[in-house]
């Protein structure tokens, strides 16, 4: 079986699994407990946190452990907006964000906040003058994803940060779920002030993730109770998940920007140029690990099925929204015509992908093209 759906989830790394099992077995005590076992567990928790901060070159700041990218995005957006509403009630995002960002923003609108949804150009990027025009003294938060999960569009975070700093008092949140471990993510003074990641996108444990804060940013908690994690997220500290996440991050950073990804993507792009019923959608020079294709005249689910019968696993444009059969909001944001928008599939590489997988994929795409002629 050839697995090319790493942007939906990635298989856990064996070293990460070993870390998770070892910590769960040996350091099972609650890190908040005052007895010896609790103190040992807390020491390991602090060690894992420091490892993550070192990986991101965080001299200060915090790591808030979450259940994944969705919770991290919710905590960043809802938590920051609710805590800082007295400073302003204007939020800026884009019209092609992940649903966990868009729905959080819609929730804020219901609570009286004003949200500006920026359009993107044909490459899926925010134009700097458009962002500048949207910012005001009332803007408290800008949330823009680094790499789009459906089409692979990449935002210039450094340029965005400069515009935000010059034209508003806003804090910059970045959903880096699809970019961390695949490419360098600017974080800190010249990049994100808050950054969300998800473990299972980088060969980690599903159900864990983190929100990184470059300095101690006050947040209104979304989960309340015992006041753990500096009262930003209550609940028993997920020690094994934290240690496993630190391991997954370290391994992911070691393989960041694999040259093969760009080579494989270019092979797909060149091959599709020879096919009459399949075309590339989204930016051709976007993220190397994500390629979106559209097949004329059929729905994406049919193409996914066709490839699956040949032992090749891909997804429709987004695994998060593929079940309802609707046309993707990202396809609409990029202005993809209805003739092609219903038949979009996403191919995404990961650590288990190899060159022979791409050979078989290209043969299968040729067969699919002939099938739909």
Which residues are CB-contacts of 57 (< 8 A; sequence separation ≥ 6)? 187, 188
pLDDT tens per residue, range 297-310: 889 999 999 999 99
Q: Same domain, yes or no, for 73 and 158?
A: yes
Q: Same domain, yes or no, for 72 and 216?
A: yes
Catalytic residue ranges: 320
Check residue 10 and give its pLDDT: 97
Q: Same domain, yes or no, for 328 and 188?
A: no
Asked if pLDDT for residue 321 goes beyond 60, the answer is no
Q: Same domain, yes or no, for 285 and 248?
A: no
Check residue 325 and give its pLDDT: 55
Check residue 256 and give its pLDDT: 62
Count Cα atoms within 13 angstroms, Cβ side, for 351.
Answer: 20
Domain boundary at 229, 254, 279, which? 254
Distance CA 73, CA 13 (A): 25
Task: Count the domains in the chain.
Answer: 2
Check residue 331 and give its pLDDT: 74
Q: Same domain, yes or no, for 122 and 221?
A: yes
Mean pLDDT of 216-224: 94
Q: Residue 292 sits in a domain of what CATH number? A: 3.90.1150.10
pLDDT tens per residue, range 86-132: 999 999 999 999 999 999 999 999 999 999 999 999 899 999 999 99
Q: Same domain, yes or no, for 135 and 277?
A: no
Q: How sure is the predictor about 332, in pLDDT bands with cuts at 50, 70 and 90?
A: confident
Domain boundary at 254, 279, 307, which? 254
Q: Same domain, yes or no, for 212 and 338?
A: no
Give yes or no for a contact between 178 and 149, defined as CB atoms under 8 angstroms apart: yes
Check residue 66 and give its pLDDT: 97
pLDDT tens per residue, range 154-166: 999 999 999 999 9
Q: Same domain, yes or no, for 244 and 309?
A: no
Check residue 28 and give its pLDDT: 95
Asked if pLDDT for residue 257 goes beyond 80, the answer is no
Domain span at residue 182 reads 14-254
Q: Is the sign of the CA dihedral 212, 217, 220, 226 positive or negative?
A: positive
Q: Residue 123 sits in a domain of what CATH number? A: 3.40.640.10
* Reported pTM: 0.94
Q: Same domain, yes or no, for 234 and 360?
A: no
Domain boundary at 227, 254, 281, which? 254
Distance of CA 370 to the CA centre of its chain: 34
pLDDT tens per residue, range 183-202: 999 999 999 999 999 999 99
Average pLDDT, rounded, for the chain: 93
pLDDT tens per residue, range 133-150: 999 999 999 999 999 999
Which residues are CB-contacts of 352 (< 8 A; sequence separation ≥ 6)? 3, 6, 11
Q: Same domain, yes or no, for 238 and 279?
A: no
Asked if pLDDT for residue 68 goes beyond 80, the answer is yes
pLDDT tens per residue, range 267-298: 999 999 999 999 999 898 999 999 999 999 88
Q: Same domain, yes or no, for 166 and 265?
A: no
Distance CA 206, CA 203 (A): 9
Give yes or no for a contact between 35 and 29, defined as CB atoms under 8 angstroms apart: yes
Check residue 16 and give its pLDDT: 97
Q: Same domain, yes or no, for 158 and 267?
A: no
């Amino acid at each position: 079986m050839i697995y090319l759906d790493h942007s939906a989830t990635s298989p856990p790394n064996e070293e990460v699994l070993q870390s998770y099992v070892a910590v769960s077995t040996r350091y099972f005590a609650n890190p908040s407990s005052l007895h010896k076992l609790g103190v040992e567990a807390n020491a390991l928790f602090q060690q894992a946190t420091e490892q993550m901060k070192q990986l991101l070159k965080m001299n200060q700041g915090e790591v808030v452990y979450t259940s994944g990218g969705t919770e991290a995005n919710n905590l960043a957006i809802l938590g920051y907006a609710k805590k800082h509403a007295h400073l302003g009630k204007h939020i800026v995002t884009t019209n092609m964000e992940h649903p966990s960002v868009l729905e959080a923003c819609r929730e804020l609108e219901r609570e009286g906040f004003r949200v500006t949804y920026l359009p993107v150009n044909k490459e899926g990027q925010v134009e700097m003058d458009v962002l500048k025009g949207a910012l005001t003294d009332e803007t408290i938060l800008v949330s823009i994803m680094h790499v789009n999960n459906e089409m692979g569009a990449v935002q210039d975070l450094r340029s965005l940060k400069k515009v935000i700093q010059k034209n508003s008092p806003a804090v910059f949140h970045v959903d880096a779920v699809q970019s961390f471990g695949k490419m360098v993510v600017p974080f800190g003074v010249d990049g994100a002030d808050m950054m969300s990641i998800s473990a299972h996108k980088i060969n980690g444990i599903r159900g864990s993730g983190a929100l990184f804060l470059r300095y101690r940013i006050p947040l209104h908690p979304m989960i309340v109770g015992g006041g753990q994690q500096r009262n930003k997220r209550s609940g028993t500290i997920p020690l094994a998940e934290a240690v496993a996440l630190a391991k997954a991050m370290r391994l992911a950073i070691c393989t960041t920007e694999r040259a093969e990804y760009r080579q494989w993507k270019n092979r797909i792009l060149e091959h599709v140029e020879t096919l009459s019923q399949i075309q590339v959608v989204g930016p051709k020079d976007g993220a190397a690990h994500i390629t979106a294709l559209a097949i004329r005249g059929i729905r994406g689910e049919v193409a996914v099925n066709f490839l699956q019968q040949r032992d090749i696993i891909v997804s429709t444009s987004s695994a998060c929204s593929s079940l309802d059969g609707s046309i993707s909001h990202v396809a609409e944001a990029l202005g993809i015509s209805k003739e092609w928008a219903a038949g979009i599939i996403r191919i995404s590489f990961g650590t288990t992908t190899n060159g022979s997988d791409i050979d078989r994929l290209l043969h299968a795409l040729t067969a699919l093209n002939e099938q739909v002629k």
